[in-house]
């Protein structure tokens, strides 16, 4: 079943921050990585369960796709997928996630 893929404002902010950071050194790599992340997000429309459950969380609806070096965190609903966060793989996930609502990513 195809689901609509939605990005929360927080996740879009994460994506923008990553792009701005990488762009300082390589505008080409930044554009390439952002295109890869957006394509991975779009693929969740028809492959919603392709990502693994987030190891640090005990909620099977919260999953992640690895788009090196980032983790694309998302929640599966009945007819939609919500992208909640984009977290660099070297960051301490607990620190990043501690203040976020698992339903909205805020």
The per-residue pLDDT for range 10-51, each reduced to its tens digit, is 999 999 999 999 999 999 999 999 999 999 999 999 999 999
Q: What is the CATH number of domain 4-97?
A: 3.30.2310.20
Over residues 42-57, the pLDDT tens digits come to 999 999 999 999 998 8
pLDDT band (50, 70, 90) for residue 63: very high
Cα 87 off chain centre by: 7
Q: Is the pTM of this model over 0.75?
A: yes
| Residue ranges per structural domain of the chain | 4-97
Q: Is the pLDDT of residue 105 over 90?
A: no
């Amino acid at each position: 079943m195809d689901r609509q893929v939605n990005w929360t404002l927080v996740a879009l902010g994460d994506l923008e921050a990553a792009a701005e950071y990488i762009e300082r050194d390589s505008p080409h790599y930044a554009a390439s990585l952002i295109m890869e992340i957006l394509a991975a997000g779009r693929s969740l429309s028809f492959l919603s369960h392709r990502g693994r459950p987030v190891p640090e969380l005990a909620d099977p609806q919260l999953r992640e796709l690895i788009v090196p070096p980032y983790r694309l965190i998302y929640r599966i609903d009945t007819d939609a997928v919500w992208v909640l966060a984009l977290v660099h793989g070297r960051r301490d996930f607990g620190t990043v996630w501690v203040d976020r609502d698992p339903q909205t990513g805020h």
